[in-house]
Chains A and B, each alone.
Chain A
Amino acid sequence: MNWSSMSEFFSMGGYGLYVWGSYIVTFICVIGEILLITNRRRTLEKQYGLIHDLNKKETKNETTS
């Protein structure tokens, strides 16, 4: 084990900004890419009127009303 405490882990021996700056931006890119594709598919499903998407909408309406 390299780290004796949480703060030591987060400071990365003084390189925290660089190490976490790399990891966080990568994480955002990956999540962003997944969301973009999911969204693109959603739009398409709505256009095509695929029924399982309509079901989702109905249940949503029920919970809000």
Chain B
Amino acid sequence: MAINWFKYSSPASFYSLAGKMIPVFVVASVILLVAGLYVGFFVAPTDFQQGEAYRIIFIHVPAAWMSMFLYVVMAFWAGIGLAFNTRLSSMFATAIAPTGAMFTFIALWTGALWGKPMWGTWWVWDARLTSELILLFLYIGFMSLQAAIDDPRRADKAGAIIALVGVVNIPIIYFSVQWWNTLHQGASVSVNQAPSMATTMLMGMLIMVLASWMYSIAVILKRTRVIILERESHTAWVAELRKKEAVR
């Protein structure tokens, strides 16, 4: 059986596929969010060192992970768009940036609110915190550069260069706690070690990570659909879609 791998690389077919997928991810994210908050606040015990303040972890860690992960995904699609000139890949990268920036901001914000009671300061110029701040600037740079260029295809290419160059920051963020002396604690979860926290705490955190995933996918698909409509307004299929909507 021949599979047409390129079917969904066309904005028109992706548009309708994404429309069907969004509700699934919305429902999944709401269920996971409720479950994660329940475990986080009512099942996970009080931390013996940090008291209740550690409960910030249930947003801080998922947000920080998503901020890095979304950047890699954004750079990947921007790179594919640059290399193969596929316009949907570039639109996808553009759609990821605001959500990535939001998660970066949340990671920094919750980090500051966690740092104040634990370290006695909102902010330090330490490797982990500084590299995460640079990540926020990369997202903002990507978005403002694209917004500043009128021709969308040129904006895609320029954005892709920033996105790809910025990828170098991701391993720096990830390994910063090992490479430099830092106030920030080491990884709570890693591949080759048992997690350094209670099982219910870990469960709550992982459920919240899944919830952030589902949320991000839903929101990014929704934004991609809007971008497709904006950019493809001159095409026959959008005209067709308008007619169809008119009949309904």
Identify the A interface with B (CB < 8 A).
1-3, 9, 12-15, 17-19, 21-23, 25-26, 29-30, 33-34, 36-37, 40-41, 44, 48-52
B123 to chain A, nearest CB (A): 14
Contact A41 B226 (CB under 8 A): yes
Taking the nearest CB of chain A, how far is it from the CB of B221, in angstroms? 10
Q: List 9 A-B contacts (CB under 8 A).
A: A2-B46, A9-B41, A13-B53, A14-B52, A19-B52, A19-B113, A22-B110, A33-B98, A41-B229
Report Cα–Cα, A17/B106, bound state, in Å: 16
Majority DSSP secondary structure for residues of B touching A: helix
Within 8 Å by CB of B226, from A15, A23, A33, A37, lies: A37
B contact residues around A17 at 8 Å (CB): 113
- Could you tell me if B233 and A12 are in contact, using CB atoms closer than 8 angstroms? no
Do B42 and A1 have beta carbons less than 8 Å apart?
yes
Please tell me which one of the listed residues B42, B106, B113 contacts residue A2 in the complex, with CB atoms under 8 A apart.
Answer: B42
Question: In the bound complex, how far is the Cα of B216 from the Cα of A29, in angstroms?
Answer: 13
Q: Which of B100-145 contact A (CB under 8 A)?
A: 102, 105-106, 109-110, 113-114, 116-117
